[in-house]
Amino acid sequence: MITVLLADDHVVFRAGLRAILETQDDIVCVAETSDGDEAVEQAIRVRPDVAVLDVRMPRRDGLGAARTILAVPGNRTKVVVLTTHDTDDYVRDALTAGASGFLLKSLPPEELISAVRIAARGDALIDPSIVRRHLTRFAGTLAPAVPPDDITRLTAREREVLQLLSRALSNPEIARQLHVGEETVKTHVSSILRKLGLRDRTHAVAYAHRTGFATAAPPRPLR
């Protein structure tokens, strides 16, 4: 069962989110609030699997709440930032805070459900159009995790997967490109993160763009 905290100061919208999520047998909303300070308190008390935070809330905004929640020792809660405003600053701040996702409130209900499941299993879920539009402009602002030459730690297949990740492809899309199973892709992604010391696939994408690997000549396809 995936436990969820909802934080949004619009009561009707928050109630709609809860109704959508609780149509699913594997998702339950264990707490909800209308301001950022209480979102932090609830996250520490309840320790949900996923916290869905609106950016603009009273007392503390969603980005500040995300930073605090993710900095709690032993925290296992994944944060998804939800907003009506797709701006460079919001996207950058969400990523640097360590959020696992950045979503617009206009997304269809089924995509919200999918987003919560994706975040709960530890993957990132930024809309590909947002990634492609913004990442090359702000990737350099993310603190480097490892020296660029550490890319040599990766196998040829892992470098191929990383380059596809840098194009904001999902695991199923990468699997189709490489003609392998999704579980194989997940294994490669996990190995990439471990070898490069990266937190999640979002930061792997940032790493690829920051080091220039994303625009390098693609590795020769494996036969």
Q: What angle do CA 76, 105, 116 make, to 5 degrees?
A: 30
List the single range of 5-9, 34-38, 99-103 with lowest mean pLDDT. Answer: 99-103
Residue 60 is classified by DSSP as S
Q: Total structural domains in the chain?
A: 2
pTM of the shown model: 0.63
Three-class SS of residue 53? Answer: strand
Inter-residue contact 118 to 101 (CB < 8 Å) = yes
Conformational region of residue 128, where left means phi above 0, alpha means psi within -120 to 50, and beta covers everything else: alpha
For the record, the structure tokens of 128 come out as 């590909």
Q: What is the pLDDT of residue 145?
A: 46
Residue 155 is classified by DSSP as -
Mean pLDDT, rounded, for 154-179: 88
- Where does a domain end: 96, 126, 156? 126
Same domain, yes or no: 118 and 166: no
Same domain, yes or no: 81 and 170: no
* Host domain of residue 10: 2-126
CA of 58: how far to CAs of 10, 12, 168, 217, in Å?
11, 16, 33, 47
Mean pLDDT, rounded, for 159-174: 86
Residue 221 lies in a domain: no
Residue 167 lies in a domain: yes
- Tell me the pLDDT of the chain averaged across its residues: 83
Q: Is residue 146 over pLDDT 50?
A: no
Same domain, yes or no: 98 and 145: no
Same domain, yes or no: 121 and 12: yes
Proportion of the chain above pLDDT 70, given as a percent: 85
Inter-residue contact 76 to 102 (CB < 8 Å) = no
Q: What is the pLDDT of residue 134?
A: 57
Q: What is the CATH number of the domain that holds 100?
A: 3.40.50.2300
Residue 222 lies in a domain: no
Residue 57 lies in a domain: yes
Same domain, yes or no: 80 and 175: no
Q: Is residue 173 over pLDDT 90?
A: no
Same domain, yes or no: 70 and 116: yes
Q: Each residue of 177-217: pLDDT tens digit?
A: 899 998 999 999 999 999 988 877 777 877 887 777 876 65
Residue 131 lies in a domain: no
Same domain, yes or no: 82 and 189: no
Consecutive H or E run containing 80: strand 78-83
Mean pLDDT, rounded, for 52-58: 92
Q: Each residue of 101-118: pLDDT tens digit?
A: 888 888 788 888 888 998
Inter-residue contact 192 to 150 (CB < 8 Å) = no
